[in-house]
Structure 1
Amino acid sequence: MRTRAPVEACQLCGRHIDLTFHHLIPRKMHRRPRFQKQYTRAQLNAGIWVCRACHNGIHERHDEMALARDYSTLERLRADPQLQKHVAWVAKQRRR
């Protein structure tokens, strides 16, 4: 498990706050043959560093299959209109 983020700000909202690691392809999907055939181990373990509020927002808006299938890159997450609205709101929040 990663303990220290290599970046200093959330990769979605840009806030300088404690970060969590978000797997771009959720770990729950790693065992499925479709994903094992399509991605390398490094690709399956790739992720981004986000604040807890953004991380929660990602998982509240999409289930694991949708994340793995449709939102497996930072660019795709940033392009999602639902998530854009959430991230804009989070960016305005004070650090807790």
Structure 2
Amino acid sequence: MRTRAPDEPCQLCGRKIALTFHHLIPRKMHRRPRFYKQYTREQLNQGIWVCRACHRGIHKHYDEMTLARDYNTLEQLQTDSQLQKHVAWVAKQRQA
């Protein structure tokens, strides 16, 4: 898992805390024909930098196939009502 120092805020909750890289199309899906035939290598490797709490929330709410198929952009993640609730809670948490 790639990590980054808190130079920039989490792309979901906005907290300045250590960040992890979230693949918008999970790596587990990259080998499936549906994805490697439809997307370029660059598109498959696109992602966002999020804090661990947001990253856990993303994977807690959705499995890899759902993320790859329905939530493969930052905008789709930001507009999901379940994730909005989680992100709102995370944004109120103390920054360690």
* TM-score (norm. length: structure 1): 0.94
Which whole-Å CA distance do the structure 2 matches of 1:7 and 1:40 have between them?
29
Aligned to 1:92: 92
- What is aligned with 2:36? 36
Contact 1:24–1:68 (8 Å) recurs in 2 = yes
Taking only aligned residues, the RMSD between alpha carbons, in angstroms, comes to 1.6
Number of the residue aligned with 1:66: 66
Question: Is the Cα contact below 8 Å between 1:23 and 1:46 reproduced in 2?
Answer: yes
Provide, for residues 59-83 of structure 1, a one-character-per-residue CA deviation record: whole Å limited to 9, x for no partner: 0000000000000000000010000
Alpha-carbon distance between aligned partners in 1 of 2:12 and 2:78, rounded to the nearest angstrom: 7
**Displacement of 1:3 after TM fit?**
4.8
Q: Is the 8 A contact 2:5 2:17 kept in 1?
A: no
Identical columns (%): 80
Residue in structure 2 matched with residue 82 of structure 1 by the alignment: 82
Scaled by the length of structure 2, what TM-score is found? 0.94
Structure 2 CA distance for partners of 1:73 and 1:6, relative to 1, 3 Å: farther
> Which portions of structure 1, spanning 4 or more consecutive aligned residues, are displaced by more than 4 angstroms?
none
Q: Secondary structure at the match of 2:37?
A: helix
* 1:21-79, Cα deviation, whole Å (9 max, x unpaired): 00000000000000011100000000000000000000000000000000000000001
- 1:51 is matched with which residue? 51
Gaps of 5+ in 1: none
The count of residues paired between Structure 1 and Structure 2 equals 96
* 1-structure distance, mates of 2:73, 2:95: 26
How many Å apart are 1:95 and its aligned residue? 1.2
Aligned 8 A contact 1:78 1:84 in 2: yes
Unaligned runs of 5+ in 2: none
